[in-house]
Chains A and B, each alone.
Chain A
Amino acid sequence: MDASGQPAPAPLLAVRDLVKNFPVKRGFLARAVEEVHAVDHISFAVGAGETLGLVGESGCGKSTTGRCLLRLVEPTAGDIRFAGRDVRALRGSALRMLARDMQIIFQDPYASLNPRMTVGAIVGEALIIHRLVATRREFADRVVELLETVGLGADHMRRYPHEFSGGQRQRIGIARALAVSPKLIVCDEPVSALDVSIQAQIINLLEDLQQKFGLTYLFIAHDLSVVEHISTRVAVMYLGRIVELAPAAQLYAAPKHPYTEALLSAVPIPDPTAKRRRIRLEGDVPNPIHPPAGCHLHTRCPRAMPICAAEIPPPKETAPGHTVACHLY
């Protein structure tokens, strides 16, 4: 997939042929005997100021992809370029400086905040690490500013994370990510652990922040309706590969890949009288240690053909900016 037909001339983030295999260690002296193919040659690009939604079911490699971008997980192969810089070549302090450009918001607001640090210390940690403030006064002012940006107050600074609700904690996590004034934020299922009523507030907050600070998001989710609301473009992943990538409106109106069709047909319609043709995928997701040959979906695809088991379908641009990896097209 070549820059995914994105009209922006130089994307902020360009990923090409990213691969991440996790060794499975077993037996005497813990030799790596097998590998989990978590991310299998994926390519995409994110333009400045846009939101790329990344959807797929559990275990399809979307979180691993996000962590590879920040080098929280070391990619096995591939090329990651952020604003033209080769992210995979960064070492030591240069790698730590990457944190000032790229940040991450985590899924679990309970596990992602250090229980022994005050909210002020959590939000302000990056200011100390990167020496962004000179005095205590400046530190406190900046932390209060960050807390207010996400809808919390100065009085929350001295409290501990356990004193907050899930939605408030997620706001703390967002404030922490904003502290370095990043250009791109990987949102790793930021609302999946929250109540539906609070999900909307957090998504609105993320949208407000995007406008205010000109942020770029890689928005990971397993819920298509959440992604539809916030994304400019959407990439659908299945078993470590991107099967379809298209502008959001286009993907939801006219999905091409059988997997995308099946996912969309599973989204509930808030109208009890509405009928829809449900596409059911039979069986379970195959084991990523031994993924099926050819197209990963062929074992479950209702429209599978002989060629699907033999050859990996190359990504094909069927319309401007709309790429599908399927032998049907």
Chain B
Amino acid sequence: MAGSTPASPTAEVPLAAAAPLIAAAAAPRKTLGGEAWRRFRRHRLAVASALVLALMTFAVLFGSLIWPVPINAIDFAAHLQGPSLAHPLGTDDLGQDLLARMLYGGRISLAVGFASMVIAVLVGTLVGAVAGSSRSATDTGLVWLIDLFLSLPQLPLLLLLIYLFRASLRKLAGLEIGTFILIVVVIGGFRWMSVARLVRAEFLSLREKEFVEAARALGAPQWRLVMHHILPNAFGPVIVAATIEVANAIIAESTLSFLGLGFPPDVPSWGRILYDAQDYLDIAPHWALFAGGAIFLTVMAINYVGDGLRDALDPRRVL
């Protein structure tokens, strides 16, 4: 096992002499959560990224209180201006303040990213776990389902789904909430396959491991095998996949916004801002740079936090 430390040789001495020696080599008491936090802190990049993420989350949640400029105040006299004191991030083609729009749009982008990731990971883990722990027909059927979803032409289907359900959901939950639910479900619903495949593959290899067999020999029921022995050991790659899903979802949302199927054009999200900016790249590069930079920074930070989490939650890794 990689990264294992040579343990103290104390317990290899004959039984009678062993007890006092072992007591001398007592390890400090530690809880599981505290231990994971200690290990996470060792990962500098992850800690820095967590700070960046926290700062971003704070900014998009409370930034509009500190910078109370309306997102749709049109001022043609100040259109396409670069950063200035009046507009720290410049303005767009309608003279709207970009900082205000970024702060508002970040809320949507981050919320869509995380919510879609949660759906993708939940569905993927469920499908992967059921497929990986059942034999024969169920497994085959679920693998077919995964392949089916992977081979579907996603964009036309997304369009169809959104056309079909947009009106009724908006009526049910209001314009913004309805659109949010629809987008999150649609993005998450088309992104669980990679997680499902990962989880299934992990399950297939883990369920043959001797420690799982040992638990079976102890009389552990199936749910206990899955929840205590297989799933915790399968989560390393899933955490990494989850962080990538957040990034993918943020980008997928921008695609939908671009096609006019996401949020209405007057509601900004980072992806929406980026797409609006592309026609003006040569005369107003700041417009695209800030939105793109925010997406880039978020995705990077999430990836590093994912790496740190994976390492911190794996007790075999020496940190």
Contacts and interface: CB of A to CB of B under 8 A. Distances in A.
Interface of A: 67, 70, 72, 95-100, 103-104, 106-108, 110-118, 125-126, 129-130, 148, 151-153, 155-156, 158-160, 162-165, 167-168, 171, 173, 176, 179-180, 198, 201, 205, 208
Interface stretch (B4-12, B166-174, B270-278, B280-288): B4-12
Given A104-B214, A129-B219, A164-B7, A153 B1 contact: no
Contact of B217 (A72, A130, A205, A208): A72
B218 interface: yes
Nearest to A149: B15
A114 B29 CA distance: 20
B156 interface: no
A126 B214 CA distance: 10
Nearest to B233: A116
Contacts of A95: 219
A158 B27 contact: yes
Contacts of A171: 11
Contacts of B4: 162-163
Interface residues of B, number: 41
A168 B12 contact: yes
A99 B220 CA distance: 9
Given A111-B210, A129-B220, A130-B219, A155 B5 contact: no
A158 to B, nearest CB: 6
A92 to B, nearest CB: 9
B33 interface: no
Contact of A97 (B215, B219, B229, B314): B219
B214 A112 contact: yes
A19 to B, nearest CB: 21
A115 B1 contact: yes
A112 B211 contact: yes
Interface in B46-85: none
Contacts of A148: 19
A317 B29 CA distance: 60
Given A72-B213, A114-B229, A152-B11, 5 more contacts: A99-B219, A115-B233, A162-B1, A164-B7, A180-B218
A87 B36 CA distance: 43
Which 8 residue pairs of A and B lie closest in terms of their CB atoms, listed nearest first?
A99-B219, A153-B22, A96-B219, A112-B210, A155-B26, A162-B4, A160-B315, A111-B210
A99 B217 contact: yes
A95 B229 CA distance: 20
B7 A70 contact: no
A303 to B, nearest CB: 39
A95 B22 CA distance: 38
A168 B11 contact: yes
Nearest to B26: A155
Contacts of A179: 218
Nearest to A115: B316
B14 A110 contact: no
Contacts of B11: 151-153, 156, 164-165, 167-168, 171
B224 A129 contact: yes
B35 to A, nearest CB: 9
10 contacts: A106-B214, A112-B210, A114-B228, A116-B315, A163-B7, A165-B7, A167-B11, A167-B12, A171-B11, A176-B218
A195 to B, nearest CB: 9
B214 A176 contact: yes
A165 B12 contact: yes
Contacts of B14: 201
A155 B9 CA distance: 15
A99 B213 CA distance: 12
Given A112-B211, A160-B316, A162-B4, A151 B219 contact: no
B22 A162 contact: no
A165 B6 CA distance: 7
A114 B315 contact: no
Nearest to B16: A151
Contacts of A155: 22-23, 25-27
A115 B232 CA distance: 10
Contacts of B228: 114, 117, 125
Given A160-B316, A173-B214, A125 B220 contact: yes
A98 B219 contact: yes
B3 interface: yes
Interface string B92-132: 00000000000000000000000000000000000000000
B209 interface: yes
Contacts of A164: 7, 11
Contact of B30 (A97, A100, A158): A158
B18 interface: yes
A129 B218 contact: yes
Contacts of B7: 163-165, 168
Report which residue of A72, A115, A118 has the largest number of chain B beta carbons within 10 angstroms of its beta carbon: A115
B221 interface: yes
Report which residue of A113, A155, A162, A168 has the largest number of chain B beta carbons within 10 angstroms of its beta carbon: A162
Contacts of A125: 215, 218, 220, 228
Interface in B167-221: 209-211, 213-221
Nearest to B313: A116
Nearest to A198: B12
Nearest to B5: A163
B278 to A, nearest CB: 47
A208 B19 CA distance: 17
A167 to B, nearest CB: 5
A142 to B, nearest CB: 14
Interface in B216-250: 216-221, 224, 228-229, 232-233
Given A153-B22, A167-B11, A114 B5 contact: no
